[in-house]
Structure 1
């Protein structure tokens, strides 16, 4: 059973005062002013929700800004908001907000100091997950795999170390990677943004991070749940980043926005606590050897080195299960030193004849294509011997989709015949020939 689960991953505690946020009062004040200016907010409860701090700390910030004559009370209570006092920027507050915006356009959720985040990463490390065979099989439930493959995958995933899956194309390397992701199953806390050396680095990305359902507070309850954990974090499924041929070395560095003067976290930092899948390794513009060299230190020391625009370098956690997937033989794209740094190498072969037929039947059932014994005999006894009985996992879907397309075009019910198999087979391969120019 997983050592970590939604109930056992320790949540980042909500700060009880300004000091416990780990941020400088000036930075917090400026983000408060910028947020009020950009979003036209005036109620402390609204401001607290947007900057992701408890109301008492937000009120403390507002009071500090008032003493500095940057905010002023509007003088009236909002009857529709529980008689809450409203606040507005003074002329000096607007000037300070505009000045702060010229330094950084960032506003909204208060960032989490990098050092605090490092501690949270330890509390929810992907390396602390120990999957059982049952849990891994559950994640792979939609796949038909040989037992020896599960035997190899299990220890690889449980170790939390890097994995290289290789083998001929079309045999489910990407699907297996996704199955591993599904098997993890628990949830972690992802910071909306990080702070380092006064700079803000945005981390939470709705494309990468799937937020879990938040608990809804009962307004009549004496025990409110909104401050159960630090709201500067988002409670999420363990993240999965999938890249393919588009991956470049630049995507592994901080992205600086010169207009907003903020940074965006690189892909591997966004995948912290989850999985980073490098699909189609060898198809990138960068040589595979170069990509792995970039990760030598992270893979061995569980830390990565990033750099600000100023050139200042700093370390961030590298707590992600890296899965490389390639159609090339490892010896073609890596030297021995690189291969040593990839902890597990697992070959993904095509299915046996027995498993191929199981997959074919499963796909046919799913797509409502009736099986036909005569057609299957033709496929197995005539077509596959022509390619030395090399079965691939993608073939059932391909062949059945081809036959369905013909049936739909002809306006007849789905069915399979030897003739339809021949037509589908013809689209699966391209005949070698010389084309006149």
Structure 2
């Protein structure tokens, strides 16, 4: 079943306070802190700030008035549709300050972890079936051997871990990005989740790309019901890490000043893709990184810990793509390799594909092809490196020749002497430098 944007079931908006499934004290305190920090008085403004319906805000306000923490201002605001305004009493301000001392979090009401789990299932990456056409469409700019797509397709559709390995410069990163583009649908990302009374912020504008809201059909008999605004409609998330990845990035990050948590990288990537590029270049050994993922990869759940040491389970619904220039046997033991479901070798192009890529790049850069220069490149230069081709080389060589022509003030052209100059910059001569 191919779950596209309209088919991902949206989280229903809460209709009453009891639908929130949060402790009343926590909700009350977030309301007081939000009013105090943002100087808000109107139910409609508080509903926007806390991402919950006005009717639920009103229930909370009525409760706070009973507890003498809040009072009506006694004036109707003409600018706000004659809404009644509310303000904190002295007792309400004292409670807000006390609550802020315990946690600085205010604004969007968090979603209980158990409720979020249900949404993760509704929009699981494992519900997606990627067709050959979608994959080709997303990677049409890459020249790839047919058998590579034969392997990639089932791997992506399974939503299981993938290890891509092979010599550098052959498009492993581009393929990872192409897989991300092929998914093409959207998910609902929580602004924050709650576990054990602790707030964990999830939505991160650096990781999550907000998707445009689908247009309402004015002729439709039934209007689309609004979804829970505590979620943000986003493209399926993609987290890309390289040599900077460390094990602590995979744990919750505690802010001691605000006394709140930020979601780990893989929790932010839920429903999407986590790409570990350049595996083997991190300060942590690759085996340690994969060991950290053994339980999540096998059981679709991750174990995280609070400051108190309490451990709890979160959903692990992520397509993990490892990419490395090393042979898998050099960096993993057999137990780790067993856990990675698909292992795909990404080799350099054949000579025919290399020429295809070269022609595409030259056309894009406005560089006319020259048969003599190409024969010189293939028959004289490439034998010096055992005629091993890489996908990055056409781009590099054409860019170099463009730069040389611009510097020399001559029209863009391809000549054996220009290829010599471009080639000299692609490889560094092996020599001893006297210090």
CA distance in 2, matches of 1:72, 1:375: 83
Q: CA deviation at 1:386?
A: 1.5
- The answer to whether structure 1 residue 190 and structure 2 residue 162 are counterparts is no
Which string of whole-angstrom CA distances, capped at 9 and with x for unpartnered residues, describes residues 25-45 of structure 1?
111111111111111111111
Whether 2:108 is the aligned partner of 1:147: answer: no
Structure 2 residue corresponding to 1:273, chosen from 268, 271, 274: 271
Alpha-carbon distance in structure 2 between the residues aligned to 1:359 and 1:215: 38
**Are 1:244 and 2:242 an aligned pair?**
yes
Shift in Å, 1:413? 3.2
Aligned pairs for 1:135-214 (under 5 A) are 135-214=134-213
Q: 1:89 is matched with which residue?
A: 88
The 2-side partners of 1:200 and 1:135 are apart by 38
Residue number among 302, 319, 322 corresponding to 1:321 in the alignment: 319
CA distance in 2, matches of 1:106, 1:408: 56
**RMSD (Å) for aligned C-alpha atoms:** 1.7
Q: Distance in 1 between matches of 2:396 and 2:211?
A: 35
Q: TM-score scaled to structure 2, two decimals?
A: 0.97
Match of 2:341 among 343, 346, 360: 343
State how far apart, in whole Å, the 1-side matches of 2:144 and 2:221 are: 52
Hey, what does 1:303 align to over in structure 2? 301
Aligned to 2:55: 56
Q: Is 1:41–2:40 an aligned residue pair? A: yes
For residue 55 of structure 1, report the CA deviation from its aligned partner.
Answer: 1.0
Question: Aligned residue for 2:376?
Answer: 378
Aligned-partner Cα distance in 2 for 1:301–1:323: 17
Corresponding residue number in structure 1 for 2:8: 9
Aligned partners of 2:413 and 2:63: how far apart in 1? 75
Moved more, 327-336 or 410-419: 410-419
Which residue of structure 2 aligns with residue 408 of structure 1?
406
Structure 1 residues 206 and 352: CA distance shift in structure 2, 3 A:
same
Cα deviation for residue 80 of structure 1 reads: 1.7
2:274 partner SS: strand
Report what 1:424 is aligned to. Answer: 422
Q: CA shift at 1:133, angstroms? A: 0.8
* Alpha-carbon distance in structure 1 between the residues aligned to 2:32 and 2:360: 59
Other structure's SS at 1:7 match: helix
In the TM superposition, 1:206-225 aligns within 5 A as: 206-214=205-213
In 2, Cα distance between equivalents of 1:71 and 1:272: 39
The Cα offsets for residues 109-158 of structure 1, whole Å up to 9 and x where unpaired, read as 00000001111111111011111111111111221100000001111111
Partner residue, 1:79: 78
Name which of structure 1's ranges 352-361 and 165-174 shifts more when overlaid on structure 2: 352-361
What is the Cα deviation at residue 224 of structure 1?
A: 7.2
Q: How many corresponding residue pairs?
A: 434
Tell me by how many angstroms 1:216 deviates.
7.5
1:112 is matched with 111
Name the SS for the 1:235 alignment partner.
Answer: strand
The Cα shift of 1:243 comes to 0.4
Residue 412 of structure 1 deviates from its aligned partner by 3.2
1:392-430, Cα deviation, whole Å (9 max, x unpaired): 000011111111222222333322222111111000001
SS of the aligned residue for 2:212 comes to coil
In 2, the alpha carbon distance for the partners of 1:229 and 1:214 equals 11
